[in-house]
């Protein structure tokens, strides 16, 4: 199942369970509409070099939060 399909299905499920997140001790709020309810997923941050040599799986990933009100996507790199 593709990442975008999973994200779409999670977005359509609506508010079920815990959908509010704290990032580095701060409650996550949508930078567009101010909503605090999100769906969460992880995406790979592909680079040209790693893709060229067929090592896409070794790229870093990012936490992605999709606002349940307006659909805006908030990205957070993992350090």
Beta carbons within 10 angstroms of residue 32's beta carbon: 13
Boundaries of every domain in the chain: 3-77
42 φ, ψ to 5°?
A: -125, 135
Q: What span, in angstroms and rounded, lies between the C-alpha atoms of 10 and 77? A: 21
CB 19 within 8 A of CB 41: no
CATH of 3-77, one of 2.20.25, 3.30.70, 3.20.14, 3.30.1330: 2.20.25
Q: What is the pLDDT of residues 10-45, one digit of tens each?
A: 444 444 568 999 998 999 999 999 999 999 998 877
Q: What is the pLDDT of residues 44-63, one digit of tens each?
A: 776 666 666 777 666 677 88
Helix, strand, coil in percent for the chain, rounding step 5: 25, 30, 45
């Amino acid at each position: 199942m593709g990442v975008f399909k999973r994200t779409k299905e999670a977005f359509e499920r609506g508010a079920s369970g815990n959908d509010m997140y704290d990032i580095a001790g701060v409650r996550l709020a949508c930078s567009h509409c101010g909503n605090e309810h999100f769906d969460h997923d992880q995406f790979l941050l592909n680079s040209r070099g790693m893709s060229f040599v067929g090592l896409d799986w070794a790229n870093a990933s990012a936490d992605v939060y999709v606002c349940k009100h307006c659909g805006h996507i908030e990205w957070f790199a993992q350090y």
